[in-house]
Structure 1
Amino acid sequence: MAGDQQQEEAMAADPLHVVVFPWLAFGHLIPFLELSRRLAARGHAVTFVSTPRNVARLPPVPEGLSGLVRTVALPLPAVDGLPEGAESTADMSPEKVELLKAAFDGLAAPFADFLAAACAGGREQASGFGRRPDWVVLDFAHHWLCPIAEQHQVPCAMFQIITATGLAYIGSRRQNVSHPRVTVEDFMPMPRWFPSPPSLTLRRHEAAWFAAAAQLNASGLADTERLWRTEERCRLLVVRSCPEVEQPRVFPLLQELNRKPVLPAGLLLPEDGLRETDGGHGDGTGAVVARSGALQWLDEQPPGSVLYVALGSEAPVTAASVHELAVGLELSGARFLWALRAPSAAAAGTPLLPDGFEARTRPRGVVCAGWVPQVRVLAHTAVGAFLTHSGWGSVAESLRFGLPLVMLPFMLDQGLIARMMAARGVGVEVARRDDDGWFSRDDVAEAVRRVMVGEEGKTLARNAMRLREAVVGDDGGRQERYVDELVECFQRHRFT
């Protein structure tokens, strides 16, 4: 305890000023904001950079930290074809996102002006926003930012919100040149530089997302090229994960692949597990909410009896897949609470649910078409499992509460995450066709029953609680120690 106190005092006596700049997607903005909160809680000043509409939609920083976290809004340039007022991936259909990247590249000049002004004060300022930035923490898309920071002798660290396994799957430029992947089939197995269990592979429709990321898009750069150009000029690579969740050897492998320090930041979940956001999707409801109807309904259900269903806001679901999911939930016989968002491609006024579905499943099922306080729902004693798209943020939240998973991955690294969790014995995947990813109502019902009913479900629940204990630690502070180590690294490797 004395050593911990001395360490905290040493960090507080040597405060940093960190500029944090995520990609324009709420799945990125929220983890970057959680990292900002952690840094501020340790006495460091954080300047959070985004665009005006995104800044306005961020949940508020806790009152005690508000003096150490400020926001800076850079105006997003207009780009032909980008919807008016759109500033995040949540504001547009998936095919428009490459135009958002083109607009994002137009932030180079305003960011250069901001950083020049921020550096004008010099390093003699002891602390706070008057001190020139010690670090810029950036995302995968910022290939233009590191040269700007280098002009002012400010080092950059790339913060990746995906798993270390996903990053190792992508690999560095060097490995991809030595072992090129061209076809979709090339992307299905794990690459040669990453020895892994045979189960850790991608289905064809999942691998197609990675193959597309390697192709030139309307922004003028492939996503993998953005990632490599940014990573190559960063001094550190920081990953929102930890060895307790993934294979421990993946972090040394990443360090070897990228030839620079790689640090786990931990899962960066709200400290009390109950702080609320709207998932970053834009109604600005803030951190404290009245007890919602969803929570009131859960209050009336038996402990561990409810399956919470949420596929995120940007999973490429279709009206047909929503229909199959609904019928599968009905066939399963399980209690469920479904946070349903309309697919972006669904026509206005088109019914998503089968005729009579809500009447037939009442009172054992509830569908919420509006905002649902997801963290509070997952923390509720009535919730016994989570049906998820296997996005890393959602899976991390479920780990906080030791919930077993029914997994329905759609894109990017979600398939890898689902296979990782299945290998850990904490979840079951919904069976899908390899080529196009189609699943049927029977596939949904079978997976739900396996998790919610019988001995297999009990085993999955026990495994999930064991993994929770490994991730959180006996004193609940294991994840915070990763942030302490990150701060120490920032202090050790900054320019002086």
Structure 2
Amino acid sequence: MGKQFHAFMFPWFAFGHMTPYLHLANKLAENGHRVTFLLPKKAQKQLEHHNLFPDNIVFHPLTIPHVDGLPTGAETASDIPISLGKFLTAAMDLTRDQVEAAVCALRPDLIFFDFAYWVPEVAKEHRVKSVLYFVVSANSIAHELVPGSELGVSPPGYPSSKVVYREQDAHALFSFSMFFERLYHRITTGLMNCNFISVRTCKEVEGKFCDYIESQYQRKVLLTGPMLPEQDNSKALEDRWSHWLNQFEPGSVIYCALGSQIKLEKDQFQELCLGTELTGLPFLVAVKPPKGSETIQEALPEGFEERVKNRGVVWGEWVQQPLILAHPSVGCFVNHCGFGSMWESLVSDCQIVLLPYLCDQVLNTRLMTEELEDGSRRRASVMDKDSEVGGRVRRNHTRMKEILVSPGLLTGYTDKFVETLQNLVDSNLE
């Protein structure tokens, strides 16, 4: 076995990116390697509890420079609406001097990045390998980030005729289009200049999309597997939620969460509340207050709290999602199909309902419904045990879960990935 290496990690300033990067850091640290994790100062406190190897993983907080248009104190994507993303990327670019100073002082062997397209330049100057690590789906990369891609149109040779946009996806496309235009150049520049490409996925789910990326960029794509966190049995679900969930029958509760970045319009938020109420089932909805509202309570439909007070909760703060999904009373997971939530859906026992909001979430939803669930999109209740469509979806979900949780599959990916990195560092490839 070769010597231990030292890796820098510099993900996009969003918890949906920083968290899986930290899960990967844990895997590297578990194998004796050192990690320096670069992140905004404010984010460190929220991520520290994910650091399972504090002796090997050191947080290196960055000062986020002021950028006109970025609200005072905003340091992560969860602090701002998506429409202000360009100001946060500008602030990230202004941390280049801090990143370069850290590279010069600490001399890492590798640096992992995603949105900071200039990292390969810094890495090359200091004789460091750069690894573009994607935490979005290989499907999204294949559809949107290969040469000649055009938003909303499958590129030449794209390996699926099923995963395409429909008119119903217009809102998601529109809400993502400006953000996409800003990101496309950044990410493709990083792709063309980095030493290695890696993706948080596995070939059992996205093999043909990984092969397509390899053919388009003419380099090997390294897979880490879904990079799901180890279940920490020492951590329990908060009493607030365990006591509330314990009062309901097994598999009867709907849990709905739409991620840290999505902020609904008020009418969308109220429709979501009323829709869950109409199911007649107990529910927990965890979403941010809608646009124009400071709190969840002020935005709720009239009379809603009184009508659902014994069976429904709408919550505007962070919750322990994996532990909630693992609770026996939770039977359905309504989510936005962000890539992390997609994996959590697949390895849970919950039925899955998808409400995509952004472009990559639409693609993840197409992957789930067409590639994994045999196109079962017809209107049906997944909670209805007598539903033919619901039954087929449940069988397909069970089959995929059995593959993903099969002994050694996930650890096999991470072990092979770490071994490959070790060999690359040892061989001193350029």
* Distance in 2 separating the partners of 1:198 and 1:428: 13
Q: Which residue of 1 aligns with 2:126?
A: 152
Q: Which residue of 1 aligns with 2:186?
A: 226
Q: Which residue of 1 aligns with 2:90?
A: 102
* Distance in 2 separating the partners of 1:359 and 1:137: 50
* Distance in 1 separating the partners of 2:286 and 2:50: 25
| 1:304 Cα deviation from its structure 2 partner | 1.1
Q: Which residue of 1 aligns with 2:144?
A: 170
Q: Which residue of 2 aligns with 1:192?
A: 156
* Distance in 1 separating the partners of 2:293 and 2:376: 28
Instruction: State which of 2, 23, 27 in structure 2 corresponds to 1:38.
Output: 27
| Aligned 8 A contact 1:389 1:409 in 2 | yes
* Distance in 2 separating the partners of 1:214 and 1:375: 29
Of residues 323-332 and 159-168 in structure 1, the stretch that sits farther from structure 2 once superposed is 323-332
* Distance in 2 separating the partners of 1:205 and 1:21: 31
* Distance in 1 separating the partners of 2:173 and 2:50: 38
1:85 and 2:73 correspond: yes
Instruction: State which of 111, 119, 124 in structure 2 corresponds to 1:136.
Output: 111
| Aligned 8 A contact 1:188 1:204 in 2 | no
Q: Which residue of 2 aligns with 1:258?
A: 217
* Distance in 1 separating the partners of 2:385 and 2:252: 10
* Distance in 2 separating the partners of 1:427 and 1:393: 21
| Aligned 8 A contact 1:214 1:225 in 2 | no
Instruction: State which of 404, 417, 423 in structure 1 corresponds to 2:364.
Output: 417
Per-residue CA deviation, residues 90-140 of structure 1 (Å, 9 max, x unaligned), is 112222221111111111111111111112xxxxxxxxxxxxx2211111x
* Distance in 2 separating the partners of 1:57 and 1:365: 28
Instruction: State which of 350, 354, 378 in structure 2 corresponds to 1:407.
Output: 354
Corresponding letter in the other structure for 2:110: W
| 1:342 Cα deviation from its structure 2 partner | 0.5
In structure 2, relative to structure 1, the CA distance for the partners of 1:214 and 1:304 (3 Å cut) is: closer
Instruction: State which of 99, 102, 112 in structure 2 corresponds to 1:114.
Output: 102
Query: Please, what is the CA RMSD of the aligned residues?
Result: 2.3
Q: Which residue of 1 aligns with 2:400?
A: 467
Corresponding letter in the other structure for 1:249: K
| Aligned 8 A contact 2:159 2:209 in 1 | no
The SS at the match of 2:156 is coil
| Aligned 8 A contact 2:289 2:296 in 1 | no
1:482 and 2:429 correspond: no
Instruction: State which of 216, 239, 257 in structure 1 corresponds to 2:199.
Output: 239
In structure 2, relative to structure 1, the CA distance for the partners of 1:252 and 1:43 (3 Å cut) is: same
1:491 and 2:422 correspond: yes
The SS at the match of 2:4 is coil
| 1:200 Cα deviation from its structure 2 partner | 3.4
Count matched residues.
423
* Distance in 2 separating the partners of 1:425 and 1:290: 30
* Distance in 1 separating the partners of 2:375 and 2:330: 15
TM-score by length of 1: 0.80
The SS at the match of 2:205 is coil
1:205 and 2:153 correspond: no
The SS at the match of 1:137 is strand
| 1:33 Cα deviation from its structure 2 partner | 0.6
* Distance in 1 separating the partners of 2:138 and 2:250: 34
